[in-house]
Structure 1
Amino acid sequence: MKREKLVFSLILFLGLILSFSSTYAQDPGNPDTVFFTTRQNEVYFPLPSGPGLAFVHIFFENDDSVAGISAPFIFSGPVVYDSTTFRDSRVNYMLYKNVNETLTGSNKVLLSAIPVTEHIIGPGRGYLATLCFRVIGDTGHVVVDTAFFPPSNHLTFVTSEPEGYTPVFIKGVLAVVAYKPGDANHDMTVNVTDVIFLINYLFKNGPPPYPFVAADVNASCNIDVVDVIYLINYLFKGGPPAKPGCDW
């Protein structure tokens, strides 16, 4: 019985997406919105030769319940698609959440999510998913936009009625910033001043590192006293050099 319900729900969802290719309902209530976010609307290229790893979070907010999502995207700029993750996502609890990567050679990816036996997505805000890219250039911009994905997929939210509508969409334009791992004060040199800068930031309310990833020298996706010790060991005890930081 559960299997029959699953199959019926998936067929219904796919049928709705197909039918919305020509006609869309109005978004109920305040406009629901989809946009992209990184730590500072930037992606980072570690010098001297990269590549960097960029986590581009797809953020959505809705004021009414949502019973299904179809979300095709296209990207451009000095990046190569790596993967998609639902870590920390509002739809991570769903059995049916899918990533179609068949057109990543054309810089397109299709995400979909539908609660079948689970509860539908209630009003709220947070991540849909995170696109992971390898950053292969040290200048320019990365642009992520909505797209048409064959055979008939457009950016669509589905209500519980069910009716489909297109949420407000804000494309992502993210600057590429080159940095030197370990260079916490952004003077393009790694030395004892970076250690002092980090200590001031962590313990004396000093300014934050820029970019943040430069000070995450052990690539733990966090900056803490372990990074200070790591950098001291590199500078004064022959330890390993700073790693490209994690910008989750």
Structure 2
Amino acid sequence: MSKRFSHLWRITAAPCAVLALLLLLSQPAQATNTAVRISKVQDALPGDYAYVSVSLENQGSQRSFGGFDFLVAYDASGLSLMEVTPGSLLDSCGWEYFSYRSGPFGNCGGTCPSGMLRIVALAETNNGDTHPWCFFDGRSGELAWMKFRVADDVTYECTDIPISFYWIECGDNVMSSVLGDSLHMSSKVFEFSNQFDITGQPGYGGWQGILDSSDCLFATINADAVLDFYNGEIQITCSDTIDQRGDINLNGIDNEIIDLVMFTNYFLSGLSAFESGGDVSASVAATDVNADGIPLTYRDAVYLYRIVMGEALPFPTPAAGASVDAYFHQDPGNHMVAVNCSLPLAGAFMLIKGNVTPTYLIPQVGWGQYAIYDGTYTRILILGDPGQPYGNGVWFTYQGTGKLESVETTDWHDTYIAAHISQIATDCGNFNGSGGIDISDVVYVIRYIFSGGVAPVDIHGGDVNCDNSCNIADVVYELAYIFSGGPAPCANCK
């Protein structure tokens, strides 16, 4: 009996196996998820630019897309977003709309990341005869490039700064179908190691966690979980141990004139100035000339200049807690930059976004005044002479269009000076920069003359009667203009 049963099984098993195989082959293949990946950047240098991509990996599926909306979070104290540009995949397919915006987005439950970025793109805008010629079906490539400036703060050395997808609401980090009738949402989300799946983990990906199709109900469109998101990071390199502060060119001799030349070139051309030394990270570490733990600062350059000129000794002890405010006022209408500070300054290092050509109104003394346009910023370096520090007033006018975005400054005693930037119209007589001329301007200039207040920010430095000095006569002149119909401020200036 057992033999007959065994024989019967052998007879029927073969056709059953074939039938099962045919049924398996007849089932539709499971579509592979599409990956959206933020890249990793290794060995980023403090003070340098890092370029991070957002890429699509869609070669395993024939899925098509008509748009995307990504929300990205990062640490704004370690990274400064400079710009975002479309990736090669958008260009190769002729997509018609790309935009980005940084800043807070919606309610994060009181725990918003310090840096947030939204990137949006559409294939078709129905704006005429031109149309996109592909919708990423089966294609892979870059969707966007993010340009960050890495902080030159020494505390970030040897650290990894995550750049992650972030969820606040259901419309974040989604891709649309071509017809707009379906939303493709997250299936899995991986931390920057690309090994730890954080999907559903409390506290990851958003203040409510990662939102996917199971969390979101859409009344008129379908939502499916077919996207795998991979977070990225910027890994900041470790500076070498500093054998000799000030030996920036790494020739074994510190605080030479050639070290000062190389350091000056850094402010004008970036980290490429250190390449001739053979080890950029070692040169970066050696720029901490004033021993405050922060390399690549304007204060270091000024202190190195003082050492080279015999005005100071190496390895100072930083002044604990010393801080003074300096105000750099840009007047875009009159194309000028004015400075107000209670201390005379050694100069400044400025970044103006745009191509401008400055004309300096301050004495051209000391190391000099330089300006170079690097394709994005005009880099301006002003380093004077200890015997002739720079005072308040208009430092330079300029031709071209640009926005002052960054300033470093100090005096000739290595004082920490916090630089504040404002873009205001500084008409003559508008002492406080409020945009109009009224009694508050008179009060402002009286405090400056008699109580040591901040200097006027107007284009003539408070000299409204044009006698080459800001004094009580200017107060009387301005009062007469406001209340008695006297001549306008600077009406008699030549």
Normalised to the residue count of structure 1, the TM-score between the two structures is: 0.42
Higher RCO, Cα 8 Å, sep 6+: 1
